[in-house]
Structure 1
């Protein structure tokens, strides 16, 4: 068995770990002496070394017990898959003399399991529960580098930035929450470099994948509960039912994908939602019902510059709401043109006014992407904004 495509183990099954460590030590000393990454460093290691300078050993002090308990409490989703991760990886950890470490989304180890000898050695490095282990804290290491790279990583011996970690091999994979599409944490197996094996990278990755699939299954069950909570709205017109992250549980009269963007400040009342348009939001258990609403006044402001965006304002008084939608420079340029031409522009007119617009197909592709961002604010034939608009 070899690592899956896209997974890069630190050494092959046929390499001698001791000989490999000697070769890597020469590279590490060259980097430490010249502050330049030498040829021969693996890509993931070279990128990590480039993100720092070899300025001596760095250490991270653990947070208080109360702060650690608070972090565990806020990591409830991650905690829910700890039993799966222990079941899949802890037997391997004990057999290989490794420890299993599960850290949160900021790089703080929250749970550490494994044989006492390796745990004691880990404690001697300061790799303990509550001590943040990002690259910025302790240099190149599998946990921190996996967070930077956002993918599974194996770091072997002198690939670690700190010399006191050169006797270790560590294999890490990030855990991602499908609901918010954000990292939940990182799972790591670590131990003496003589225990290194390319299979470890695959096993950690597969265990994390199973944990993510388990979370996804729970999310699907949550969506079904949200859909059931919306039964009373059946036949009440066009609406979309979403959970608190915008995942669609039900839709009547709207053709939407599996997720729509909803503002983080979503509240009951009138609001504008990309892909749907103007809606009236009503909270239900676990989510929101977004009813179609056409009667509320909407204005659009396009902001150019280093952070191009469209500002959509709906309603007035206590019901007023503002939503900001980031745009690419090209999309901001297109919206600005439509603001200047409220009567609308067809494909040819846009093509004549946009620098670098080579073909009608290019224009139509850009407008298709823009409509996904602006939803009901943009109509075609000709392309025009459906709300009062002005530039800033």
Structure 2
């Protein structure tokens, strides 16, 4: 693959390369743009809940028990910073020469397209082989990554990565790394109080939403996450915007404009309720108990209100319901961009400003 968007490259890779090219990045990168000093690495490690499970990950991925293993296991923070590495002397030496060291910023704007950056962007396991990497110096590597999420909120806490010489990624590698991430999430869940499956004092099951993701997802009563069709996600987003709810006529206009009818809305609401249960009431349409509903948008706003801009950027990785063209959603999307941009400016932190400027939302807001 000699140029961005070359024929035959997977769509996700072409899109990532296009983002790198739009930033003016060179494929001749000779290392990460930023490597944190040791004291800052120690600070970030102290804040991460993943540190207690580094050796478990190394054992699960085979780098702890097999001296002949050619790959390196890495745990990165939620911003892509390499926090821990495990592996033999030879593979760690190869990683050193690449700049793949503790403290290295391994997000997309730091080293271009790579598996860690892709996993952070998509929230799903990712694998890049050889020349799928943007930086030519990475083309001799295969890398497989999977995000680790908070068992309660679903927030991405970091990424597990297994990297090695080209050809070391096998058909089983993605499943191996994904399984390691699930084990860590299980261990984290065992350490924390169980999340409530129903709102206190009511029989309403809890509803958790990820609206800053593509696709949007939900889970009910602490169960498994499931993807939401765009229309269902739009309805749930609108309900979360207005606690007093929406009449059928209002919802019809929001979803379909002048051509909307209450009957069409009733059909859509029925589809949503069939999947998530009695979380939604009718007449007007609203959440039965707003206190039982949480979302990544509410966590983003909470972080901004508390002045925790770094955490806000960890949450705000993708636009609100990217595929929605509803006017209300577009206005809400712009409002989140404005609020985040203002918080970034108030922080006065050059690193925070750089992180924001390299996000899709930061670039859109700056050029909008």
Question: CA 1:160–1:254 in structure 2 vs 1: closer, same or farther (change >3 Å)?
Answer: same
Partner of 1:254: 202
In structure 1, which of residues 179, 202, 206 is the aligned counterpart of residue 179 of structure 2? Answer: 206
Partner of 1:39: 7
Partner of 1:50: 18
- The aligned length equals 245
Question: CA 1:49–1:329 in structure 2 vs 1: closer, same or farther (change >3 Å)?
Answer: farther
Partner of 2:160: 187
Question: CA 1:251–1:191 in structure 2 vs 1: closer, same or farther (change >3 Å)?
Answer: closer
Question: CA 1:198–1:362 in structure 2 vs 1: closer, same or farther (change >3 Å)?
Answer: same
Residue-by-residue CA offset, 1:257-279 (whole Å, 9 max, x unaligned): 14689xxxxxxxxxxxxxxxxxx
Contact 2:249 2:261 survives alignment (8 Å): no
User: Equivalent residues in 2 for 1:224-235 (5 A)?
Assistant: none
Partner of 1:152: 125
More strand by share: 1
Partner of 1:83: 55
Partner of 1:64: 37
Question: CA 1:84–1:351 in structure 2 vs 1: closer, same or farther (change >3 Å)?
Answer: closer
Partner of 2:229: none
Within 1, Cα distance between the matches of 2:250 and 2:112? 54
C-alpha RMSD of the superposition:
3.4
Question: CA 1:94–1:41 in structure 2 vs 1: closer, same or farther (change >3 Å)?
Answer: farther
Question: CA 1:252–1:117 in structure 2 vs 1: closer, same or farther (change >3 Å)?
Answer: closer
Q: CA deviation at 1:328?
A: 3.3
SS at match of 2:50: helix
Within 2, Cα distance between the matches of 1:209 and 1:192? 25
Within 1, Cα distance between the matches of 2:180 and 2:41? 25
Within 2, Cα distance between the matches of 1:109 and 1:158? 22
Question: CA 1:52–1:213 in structure 2 vs 1: closer, same or farther (change >3 Å)?
Answer: same
Q: CA deviation at 1:70?
A: 0.4
Question: CA 1:356–1:260 in structure 2 vs 1: closer, same or farther (change >3 Å)?
Answer: same
In structure 2, which of residues 123, 126, 134 is the aligned counterpart of residue 161 of structure 1? Answer: 134
- TM norm structure 1: 0.55
Within 2, Cα distance between the matches of 1:350 and 1:73? 46
Question: CA 1:374–1:57 in structure 2 vs 1: closer, same or farther (change >3 Å)?
Answer: farther
Within 1, Cα distance between the matches of 2:147 and 2:73? 14
Q: CA deviation at 1:159?
A: 0.8
Q: CA deviation at 1:363?
A: 4.2
Pair 1:125-2:101 in alignment: no
Q: CA deviation at 1:139?
A: 0.4
Contact 1:60 1:126 survives alignment (8 Å): no
98-107 or 190-199: bigger deviation: 190-199
Contact 1:157 1:166 survives alignment (8 Å): yes
Within 1, Cα distance between the matches of 2:268 and 2:11? 35
Partner of 2:107: 134
